[in-house]
Every structure is written in structure tokens, then in C-alpha cells.
Structure 1
Amino acid sequence: MKRLALSALVALGLLAAAPAAWAHTELIGSDPANGASLPQPPTRLTLTFSEPVPAESATVTVTAPDGTAWTVGEVSASGATLAVPVTPGASPAGQYVVSWQVESLDGDFVSGKTTFTLAGAPPAPPAVTTSAAPATSAPPAATSSSVTPTGTAGPVATTSSTAGAVPAEEGGFPVWGWVVGALVVVAAGVALALRLRGRSG
């Protein structure tokens, strides 16, 4: 009876342990998260599993929408998390696929995929054109001009009279000449009269 009970306990223990032994490693988290939309390409990926996995047997690849692959660095492990440095190549907008394969504790290899999306680059702002201010022309320098009357051979120079000048009478003898002549005649008459008077006396 005791042996039967002990055998039953051992069988129950084996049945309880069987699911744990049959279970494989599962991916439980990633960075970038599965389905994430990013404004710029990442330079490092992390994959977190349900149990520790060896880094030396793990492989990770990143495939761009155009089919090109990014350069992947050496995989490192910290517990159940793998860290992978990546060097983005041409990074067009679209969906990127991260493919991974790791070795579980039971020796079987498990693989899977995650995705992330790179958003398109924002449109460049329109170029702002500035127009140069028109150059202001200097006012024209004052120039002396001569007026040429119609029908004359050349320009006629105009002259300005100075203040206080006595204009001469046009077409005749000056006025002061007549005054001086009159004085001379009067003086001569007086002298002649005096001379005649002396002779008569």
C-alpha cells in the first residue's frame, strides 16, 4: 500500500514537471517594442526572453523595407535580456523586421520576429527669399546751364549786376561828363569876366 502511494506521488511529480521541461523560451519584450513607430533609426536593440539564453548561440538580423540588412554588432547577454548594437544603413521610411534565434535551456533553438516602423522625414520648410532693397540714387549734382535763344548761333552768358553799380546810359555820353563840362565852362566864363574887368579899370 505504501509503495502504491509512493509511486502515485512520483508519477504526479513527473506529470507536474513535464510542462516545465517541455516549455520553450519565449520572447516577452523588446526595444523597440513590436510594432513601434520611430522618428529615427535605433542604434541598439534589446530582446527579453522568458528565461536566460546564451549570447554566443544567438543571432539577430535587421532587414530594411528595401531588403537591405543593417550591420549588427556582437550580441551580449544580461540574464534573460540580449543587447545588440546595430549600425543603420540606408534608412527609408517603412517597416523593418528584426529576426532572432536563440537556444533554449533544453537545447532546442527558438526563433521569431518583431517589427518597427520608421516614419518619413518631415518636409523641409519652404525657402524664404529676401529681395534686396532698391538702391537709392543720389540727387543729380547742380550743373550750370546756358540758355540758347532760338535763332542765335551760340549760348548767351547771363551776368548778374553787383549792388551799388551805376549803370551807364546806353547809346550816349555819361551824365558825369556833362556835369564836369558845365563846371569847366562856368569857371572859364568867370575867369574871362574878371580879366576884362581888370583891363577896364
Structure 2
Amino acid sequence: MTRLALSALLAILALFGAAPQAFAHTELVSSDPADGASPPQRPTRLTLTFTQPVPAESATVTVTGPDGVAWPLGEVVADGATLTIPMGESGSPAGRYTVSWMVEALDGDFTDGTFAFTLTSPPQAPAVTPPPTAPAVTPPAVTTPAGTPTSAASTGSAATVTAVATGTTTPAATVADDEGSGPPLWVWIVLVAVLSVVGIAVAVALSRRAGGETEKPAE
């Protein structure tokens, strides 16, 4: 009888000893970034480790910045009691960030909590690519009256060069027109020579004729 009572007492004590473990809720053990930490640079992922395995599909995690804007997070991935959440790029300023989490325990109940970490460096500004520089435009070359190619920039303007070229070529065109209006000079010279020869021949003939008429009365 005494042994039976002792066995029952030990069984009751073992039952009460195991009950707290069976009905204990899931608790957060550690995190990265840790509670109260000041990471030197912006984290790219958030890690939460609990006392018991937690399903990823029922977990809810949010990160809120000092400006009240939520940090963009990726899909929650569970590996036993550890949850890993990718953290996207955020434009929130430096300051205190609050992490709120809620997970489902093994007994089906939900448990939640919060912690915070501080960023001391502001977000890096995106690199700005300077616009492409337009290539320099070289003004077209203009031929001067002397025949030397000259750009419009070196002579002042294309209009000035055109005006100078026009002023120097106009007299040449006028001379050409004057020469083309009558016979060339050599024609006049030949004509005068021919007329001189004809005049001399006529004078000789007349002189001989006059001499012949003078000799006839003497016979």
C-alpha cells in the first residue's frame, strides 16, 4: 500500500513537471539586428529565432521607421524555430526602427512582441548619371576668292564671306560681257592691215595709169 501511494505521488509530480513545457507559449530568443543594436550599415535581412518551431505561412513581421513608413520586406522563410525575412531598399532616414512580430505557437495560439534597433547612417542617395554631352559642331568650310578654304567661324560669318566673294567676282563677269558684245581686237588689227594693203595697191595702180596717159602725147 505504501509503495502504491509512493508510485502515484511520483507520477503526479512528473505530470505537473511536464505540464509547463507542454503548455508553454513560443517566445523570441534572439534576433538580427538585435534588440537595442545600432548596426553600422543598413541590414539586408531580418532573422528571428524562437523557442519552438513556427510556421512561416502564419507569421507576420513589420518594420516601421522613424518617419512612420514601413520598411519593404520579402517573403518569410521558416527553418525550424528561425524565421528569415529579406529586407528591401528603404529611403527612410536614420533613427529608431521598430520590429513587430506575430507567430503561431505549437498549441495553435498566437503570440506577438516588439523590439527596436537604431540606424545611425542615412540612406545612400542613388547615383546620378550625367546626361551625355552633345558633340561639338564644326561650321562648314567656305572658299574665299583667293581659293583658300576658310570656316565661317574664322571669317566672322558665312554671309560676310559670301558678300566679299560676290563683290570681287562681279567685275570679272562684267568684263566678260563687254568682250563678248563685239569682235575681238585682233580682228580689227587684221582688218586695218588688209585695208592698208588694198589702199596701197589702188594708189600704185592709179599712179601707173596716170604715168601712161602722160607718155602718149609725146609720140
Structure with bigger helix share is: 2
**Same fold judged by TM-score > 0.5?**
yes
Deviation at 1:26, TM superposition (A): 1.2
Alignment of 1:106-185 (within 5 A): 106-121=107-122
The root-mean-square deviation of aligned C-alpha atoms, in Å, is 1.7
The answer on whether the counterparts of 1:94 and 1:119 sit within 8 Å (CA) in structure 2 is: yes
Higher relative contact order (CA 8 A, sep 6+): 1
- Measured in 2, the distance between the counterparts of 1:84 and 1:121 equals 22
Match in the other structure for 2:52 = 51
C-alpha separation in 1, matches of 2:122 and 2:97: 16
Distance 1:28 1:109 in 2: 16
Q: TM-score, normalised by structure 2?
A: 0.52
Find out whether 1:19 has 2:56 as its counterpart: no
Distance 2:9 2:40 in 1: 60
Amino acid at match of 1:19: P
Letter matched to residue 10 of structure 2: L
Q: Within the alignment, does 1:70 sit opposite 2:38 as a pair?
A: no
Question: For residues 121 and 60 of structure 1, what CA distance do their matches in structure 2 show?
Answer: 23
Give the deviation of 1:89 after TM superposition: 2.4
What is the aligned partner in structure 1 of residue 209 from structure 2?
Answer: none
Q: Which runs of 5+ in 2 are unaligned?
A: 124-219
State the partner residue of 1:160.
none
The residue number in structure 2 matching 1:4 is 5
Flag the 1:103–1:82 CA change in 2: closer, same or farther, 3 A.
Answer: same
Distance 2:39 2:17 in 1: 44
Q: Which amino acid aligns with 2:103?
A: V
Q: Which amino acid aligns with 2:107?
A: D
Distance 1:20 1:39 in 2: 39
- TM-score where L is the length of structure 1: 0.56
Bigger radius of gyration? 1
After the TM superposition, which segments of 4 or more aligned residues of structure 1 sit over 6 Å from their partners?
Answer: none
In 2, Cα distance between the equivalents of 1:121 and 1:104? 37
Contact (CA 8 Å) 2:93, 2:122: kept in 1 or not? no
